[in-house]
Structures are given as C-alpha cells and as structure tokens.
Amino acid sequence: MPSKFLAVSANTVQPEEGGPAPDRVISGDPKFRSWNVDEQPHGLYAGIWEATPGKWYIQYDEWEFCHILSGVSIISEEGGKARTVTAGDSFVLQPGFKGTWEVVETTRKEYVIKL
C-alpha cells in the first residue's frame, strides 16, 4: 500500500516553470517555479512556489495558505495596506483578494490551495 505521508520538498517532484500573464506584469521579468507535491480531488493542492524579482497584479478566486521559506515580498491589497513578508511569515489570501505581489528578493513559499 502506498504511503499516505508526503514530504513537502522541492526534491520530490520536478518543477513547473512559468510566470504571471504578460498583461499582469507591472515591473521586472518575474519567473515562477512550482513544485506541486500533492493534488487532491475537488481542487486541493500543496507544494512549494518560488518567484524571482518583479511586480504583478494578482486576483484570487481560490483560498490559499502561504508560509514564506525565504526571500522578501511586498503584498499590497487594493484599497488596503502593503505588507512585507519574509522567512517565517504565514498568511491566508482569501477568495476575492485583489492587489499586487512584488518580489524584492527571490521568494520561496509553501502553499496549500483550495479552489
């Protein structure tokens, strides 16, 4: 029987590469790498995401828990305040969140997403 224990590690799966849609980029040339460690029915995902410096517009339809592993980013909510996140910070972005994500120093996070 396969194990029901999954380590969240960039060493367990090959990364997917990408970036924000070109029309969402505000500055820089941000690139993404994602190690999607687990995917469950009904839109539940867990893994690691990394982004290089740049700034882009974000809009969340999903719920996401994030835990920053390294780097520095500034997340600004439309009509709200900007928050700087660094290693050790954890937060949730709820459906309907709109604003910008700016990677100041290459940022790596663990995530759990529920669509």
Domains of the chain: 16-114 (2.60.120.10)
This prediction has a pTM of 0.95
Assess whether pLDDT exceeds 90 at residue 114.
Answer: yes
pLDDT tens digits, one per residue of 37-80: 999 999 999 999 999 999 999 999 999 999 999 999 999 999 99
Q: Give whole-number Cα distances, 42 to 46, 79, 115, in Å.
A: 13, 32, 7
Amino acid identity for residue 45 in this structure: Y
Q: Give whole-number Cα distances, 61 to 52, 89, 114, in Å.
A: 23, 22, 10
Residue 26 has, within 13 A of its CA and on its CB side, a CA count of: 11
